[in-house]
Structure 1
Amino acid sequence: MERVAFIIDATGERIDCLLNPETFEVRRLAGVRTPAAGSEPIVGRGQADDPVRFTGGGRTELLLDMVFDVGLVESGGAPQDVRALTARLWNLAENTAHELGAGRPPLIRLVWGKSWNVPCVVSAIAERFDAFNAGGAPGRSWIRLKLLRVGEPAGSAACSFDEELTRTATANGDTDRPAALEAIGDGGTSDGRPGTARIDLLAADALGSPMRWRELAAHNDVDDPLAVRAGTVLAVPSAGSRS
């Protein structure tokens, strides 16, 4: 089963979820507002609705409900306290990055199979605990995560994925690409298994844009783009092909 993961943009660190979200809601708030009382004259008397001001922009929110349980950890070293599994998600809501002299939450990517790859920041997190042991440590956690999409121009957000691929290929010339590339990942796991590589970075090297990771995954029949083993040789689609 493909699971949701969060990739920290600055470091490449990946935070995997034990299960897919219980629920996943996407909400779009348009760039409109009503004038605040006393801030400006209210016009449009006799109309059915108050006037609105069009500010442009807006925001896209993603709401995820997730479950973590120490009993679901596959390795023998499962923690006694579920907070050991969820602490890194809390850190994503802290101002650990810096921009223009001020702290801000780190930029991350929400990745879920081949369907979702969204640049965003964590704007809110809430956690409810149950399944406490005799020492008071919770064994299960119910997390609600609120994400805000960032870093996408209006044109990119409005067009379809195929249009994005076409525009990217045109801008980059889509030529002089290698026939294949080797996945370079991290140093591996503590039990000797090979590390994994980020397929969006591989797509950037081979196809000129990380946005084209789905094309690279489909061309190589990659079922789980988060589990490309280091050392795997991936074929690069030709300039004229679309998988």
Structure 2
Amino acid sequence: MERVAFLIDATGERVDCLLNPETVQVTRLAGVRPRGSAGTQLTGTGLADDPLVFTGGGRTELVLDLLFDTDFAEGQVRPADVRALTRPLWMLAENSAVEHGWVRPPLVRLVWGKTWNVPGVIIAVAERFDAFTATGSPRRSWLRLKLVRVAEDTDRAREGFAEELAVAQTPAVAPGTAVVAAGDGTATTDSSGVRFDLLAHDALGSPLRWRLLAEHNRITDPLAVPAGTALAVPPQQGLGTGVAAGSGS
């Protein structure tokens, strides 16, 4: 599982989550709608498709499946009910902000690794609970949410995407050297707390190349690498130039 965070622009508050599974569904809807008249949709005789109106803009949606568990909560005092952890995300789907006299959901940023920083609003949340206590309090939550990216200037969106690719493709260390595995303070009985995807970003220029780093160091379980372990950086030959290099299963 991967750690992601939501940053609330207005307050700076951070909501940490576990991404489960390690996928994000992204949908892009272009600014296109069927052409219509007052109250009806226009059709054309002999046309194979309905006439369209090109409105410009569009809509980008991200769907995330998140996991919350009271056993994974940080801090000395852990909540007895997992809803204490998920309530902030429910509140982000409420119209609690005001803009130009209109209420709206607050602006948040999805932050994941070094290459995801998406501003948007949460428009839908659904939650399933399990691991109930004897008193009926759920200790685990499987939460799905939909984030809609806020309107951005087309040129800025293109520049931002190019910047993300440039960052993802630029290793922070030279081939033939080593990177040291550092824990993030979340070590458990099943995980050392080492972020192997961030190690791959520093060593090879992309978190998607973690398998190459693991294979080069003959590591079969990246989640079990002890903090402080020095990992050799493989040569760049054969990695390719795209972010997707080494991302195959």
Say whether the fold is shared (TM-score over 0.5): yes
Deviations 1:16-61 (A, max 9, x none): 11x2342311100010011347546735321211111111111000
Of structures 1 and 2, the one scoring higher in RCO (CA 8 A, sep 6+) is 1
Assess, with a 3 A threshold, how the Cα gap between structure 1 residues 36 and 143 changes in structure 2: closer, same or farther.
farther
Matched residues, number: 168
Task: Report the Cα distance in structure 2 between the residues aligned to 1:65 and 1:2, rounded to whole angstroms.
Answer: 11
Deviations 1:4-23 (A, max 9, x none): 11111112111111x23423
2:52 maps to what in 1?
A: 52
TM-score by length of 2: 0.61
Contact 1:4 1:21 (8 Å CA) reproduced: no
Unaligned runs of 5+ in 1: 166-216, 224-243
Task: Report the Cα distance in structure 1 between the residues aligned to 2:40 and 2:19, rounded to whole angstroms.
Answer: 47
Deviations 1:134-177 (A, max 9, x none): 11111111111100101411122234424999xxxxxxxxxxxx
Deviations 1:49-95 (A, max 9, x none): 11111111110001001111112224442111100111111111111
Deviations 1:181-233 (A, max 9, x none): xxxxxxxxxxxxxxxxxxxxxxxxxxxxxxxxxxxx97xx9x9xxxxxxxxxx
Q: Which moved more, 1:35-44 or 1:46-55?
A: 35-44
Aligned pairs for 1:143-222 within 5 A: 143-159=143-159, 160-162=161-163
Question: RMSD of the alignment, in Å?
Answer: 2.7
Unaligned runs of 5+ in 2: 167-200, 208-249
Contact 1:93 1:124 (8 Å CA) reproduced: yes
1:7 maps to what in 2?
A: 7
TM-score by length of 1: 0.62
Task: Report the Cα distance in structure 2 between the residues aligned to 1:12 and 1:140, rounded to whole angstroms.
Answer: 26
Aligned pairs for 1:91-110 within 5 A: 91-110=91-110
2:124 maps to what in 1?
A: 124
**3-state DSSP of counterpart to 1:127:** strand
CA displacement at 1:2 relative to structure 2: 6.0
